[in-house]
Structure 1
Amino acid sequence: MSDERDEIEAVEDAERPRGTEVAVGTASEEETAPVEIPRELPVLPLKNTVLFPFLLSPLLVSSERSKRLIDAVVLDPYRLLVCAAVRGAVEQSPGPDDVRRTGTVVRIVKMLKSSDDSYRLLVQGVSRVAIEEFVSDSPFLRGRIQVLSDRGDLESVETTALTRNVSQNFVALVAESPRLSDDLQVLGSNLDDSSKLADLVASNLDLDVGGKQELLEELDVPIRLRRVLDEISRERDALKVESEIREKVQTDIGKTQRDYMLRQQLEAIRQELGEGLEPEAEVGRLRERIEAAGMGEEAHRQATRELDRLAQMPPAAAEHGVIRTYLEWMADLPWAQLSEDRLDVAEARRILDEDHYGLDKVKDRIVEYIAVLSLKRDLKGPILCFVGPPGTGKTSLGRSIARALGRKFARISLGGVHDEAEIRGHRRTYVGALPGRIVQGLRRAKTRNPVFVLDEVDKVGADFRGDPSSALLEVLDPEQNSSFSDHYLEVPFDLSQVLFVATANLIDPVPAALRDRMEVIELPGYTEEEKLEIAKRFLVPR
């Protein structure tokens, strides 16, 4: 294509419809022999990009000053200009002091005028140049330049090895990176020129403007190859870490989705079978029961906190059942339920005589307690210990006391108990954890002031699991049992209104500390006359 034809196409382009591609060169010219670079050329400042020699690069030109520069360049037969990166963020048109002094001479291959009046260019790098000085800044920047040549021994064994290593690693990087086009694999593996290979790799690395500018300014080819090889290794390591993170995330997401689908299927099966409640309805039901239980402030706060956790937890979660069971226990306990005591002394004595013959000492003590209770209603319950041989009616006497007082009756047997958790309960961290027998008995009694019989207190053992008799010290101490702490509940429960009755065959095996907390009443064996009377009153009528 002649120079005259170039000028005609460039001038006529102003009258073409917007969005039309304008060919400003021919294929034969793009294959040309080396171009003689003038000493002075227009300088196009570039923001956020660095161009390298011999590579095709797209450009978008939108400012009026830059478009005037391009309009002037396309009138020249060689269509050459210098592209140089801007030093930093510049709000207005860059001046001479804003442009870096090392750039690349490029040749405009194609130009497209878009409908928004911007120019879209395809340029090809020609050579590295140093901008010695700027000779003009109006209507655009124009500078005096010096062509920069590559340095270093390009034929040495080291350079050859570096070139081969860079080529292989770059091809591997392209295969691993979704950001890079697969066409670069062919281009990188077939490029033998060390300098061009280094520039090709540098232009496609994930570097900022400063990093690419340093590689553009590096004229020593072996050093440039080493630097791009280091950057390739760093980027491949980063891609490997990203891939591992992505695979882990995908695995976690897959497991989460699988769990969600299984939960949905399980919920559908339960609904078909008519089992269970909706999670919201279940939480609402528990909340109503907790509010109606009359808990203390600390217990209410603990139950509400666990209920809030339950509301946010999926039904299939492993801890869901543990929390729900805990809340069921908390709601079922008699926090505020009290039996109304029968304070008629004569009626109480009649009931005691009706159930048992003799045992006047025991009956007198119970009648005495009722009489004092009628005068002082906040009296703490006594802790009685009946000691006597088997068959003397120790346990049945406890039931009679409950009937005489009009209270509920609860009983636990401590014979052979070796584990402290039987009294204090298990912590919820254990599978199948439950409260201790004291709390279980109160739940069955459904009142906070039952008559509670601790049978066979002298048969309690001790081993590596703890000493249950030591746990009973808190239960039977009037100064401590108002805030009894069960390991399962983890909140205090008031036992001060409970009338504890312990039974034992012998008093000696009972630890001294525990014995001091109880009022011991001995039940001797029956005489022949008493046995005959018992037979007449209780056995014959049956």
Structure 2
Amino acid sequence: MKLKDLSLKNGKKELPLVPLRELVVFPHMVVPFFAGRAETISAIEAAMGNDRMVFLACQRRDIDTPTEDDVFEAGSISKILQMLKLPDGTLRVLAEGMERGKVVRFLKKKEYHRVQVEPIIDAREVGKESVPLMAAARDAFRRYTKHQKKIGPEILAAVEKAEYPDKLVDLICANVQIVPEKKVEIIEKDHPNERLELLAVTLEAENEMLELQNKINSRVKQRLEKNQREYFLNEQLKQINKELGKEDDDGSGAKELRKRIEARELPSEVWEKADKELSRLARLQPMSPESGVLRTYLEWIADLPWSEASDDNHDIDLAQKILDEDHYDLKRAKERVLDFLAVRQLQGKGKGPIICFVGPPGTGKTSLGRSVARALGRKFVRISLGGIRDEAEIRGHRKTYVGALPGKIIQSMKKAQTVNPVFLLDEIDKMSSDFRGDPASALLEVLDPEQNGTFVDHYLEVPYDLSRVMFITTANSVHTIPLPLRDRMEVIEIPGYTDYEKVRIAKDFIIPKQLKENGLPSDSISFRKEALTTIIRNYTMESGVRNLEREIASIIRKTAREGLSKGVLLPRLQKPDDDTEQKEAQQKSETKAFSAIITPKSVERYLGVPRFENDLLYRNGRPGLINGLAWTELGGKLLPVEVALLPGDGKLILTGNLGDVMKESARIALSFISSCAHEFGVEPSALKEQDIHVHVPQGAIPKDGPSAGITITTAILSALTGRIVDRHIAMTGEITLTGRILAIGGLKEKSLAARRNGMTTILLPEDNRKDGGELPREVKSKIELVYVATIGDALRFLFPNA
């Protein structure tokens, strides 16, 4: 028996495969298509030489050489009605779908694919559940034909006369435009009710989309008709005004804008651009979209300051007084502002400086910018750059875009209304970049004194002079600022405040401010110095004073509430027309009996249990225990290092959540001690027969950096020799393999930590001697600073009798 006869007997058919692009053929459907691929032409010619039967299946992807995985399994067993060879070698084919089928097996021939297909038999019975589903499908198709006018009445009639569900589904699917994947899903389902339900749902979704599309098209058409109607009416109105002698009416607003722009002293290049745009605006219809774009653009030109400048305060003493009123210390930043004032008095004109204040949060960088503007007698504008990631935020958008605006620089200049404001760019280190551009690169032109005289905003399209602006930027760290941008700025470090400075700031600035904000007289509540020190050390952990102000405000509020509850403070009953002096007199008389003194005990009563503990201190010294010093973002910290010797084979054990750099410092220390063991009186066998365990307490806190090198070296030597180092000595410095002590950073913060924890001596690298003059007065007066160039110098000081 032949293979072909066997397949027919099993109900399966072996047919040539014709893959189609974006086309799904259903039974009762006559469809023309072109065949140009060699495999497809061979398959059609093979079918024409036999019984004209082929299997038409849709491709999953639009590719020229589809494989088995690129063709849907469900398709249509079809008969070729007509084939016509064209001059270019392609075929024009007319085929009719006979019945549905599903591929069981792919059979590869040399010239084309053959497939073994199992027919899907239609169920001709109409069940009870099928009747309402057929009615729903017909109703959805009727509404679909109202949106698609190409479907003729004969097709609608054939759908109405369909006797059974499968025929109804096939007729409808053959005449609707839905995605091929959905058609394949409908063709491969066996149960007629499932096919009807899926078709009805698909048609309903298609009808909703078509209705929405028709509504949108209708609105667009109405809008176009409205614009045409307005155009004709405006033309008629022009002719009527001409006949009535009212030809000078300014419907577009061009004449008014011209007067406003002429009143400004515009540079010649800007005036040429504005004059050109004004002429265009006068020729346009007032209601046209382009007229609105031009009018907004010209209003920006008219509103910007082009030559208006505020008069600088030339009184240096007055400026010094204003700066000191607003901020304590910050000597270097204040001197830079006063230097600028002095140069302006001598020169008259000059480029504005680009200053960057860098320091921890809460140290007064932003408020210092406002104070600088007050001292100079200039307007103050501020832009927060934190989180900005779009270059258009700086340079603006092209005015052709809908809703376009200038960038933040030009917007702020309009707000200032002078060409020489103090311009604060806050949090310049918090910018980021993405596919929309890099705002930091856009700032290169703004913050370059050689370029910002001709700054071009994308919206204005004309140069704008920023050279007279005094730019001040703020940052918490310079490491995240791109190097080209950092190079354009004069960086002024604003370090964290010492405890002494915080107490002065609290007394002179924070407490008077909070008393005023909370409605209390300036002499009603006083803080003892010990109370302020308690707040600083036990309730705040910061380099600035932001949290300190928050805690002081909390104490003042609670004290005011106590005064009200005890009847000592009386509520103020103010009238809207009260005179200010009367208000102050009334307040003073109502609160004259109230006073409170804040002590350390009352601090704990108001603020609760202390939130922060002092640094870890050891009461008694022992071998292997040395006090180091560390720098953190919240200030300096005492960092004790412990070393223990264990029986072993010379391993170095490091614990305490140490970073890679600190681990390297420990290995360098051990290598240096091993190389110079005889000089230090250490037997080589002691290093080989013992494990050395180095531990830095408070293991939950990550620690890193090279400045603990001298501390670790001294601790290991102390443990190996049994000598004890005075517990009131602290040290910091990086060590090399040759025993040199290198410079470290954060000297001010570290020395303050030593002072706070009762240290009397600090060992520092010789290279840091130049920084010693900048240390706070309370450090230099209470602590002995010992500078060492090598580890040998340090050991001679620490172990004088060895």
Q: TM-score, structure 1 length as denominator? A: 0.50
Greater relative contact order (Cα 8 A, min sep 6): structure 1 or 2? 1
Q: TM-score, structure 2 length as denominator? A: 0.34
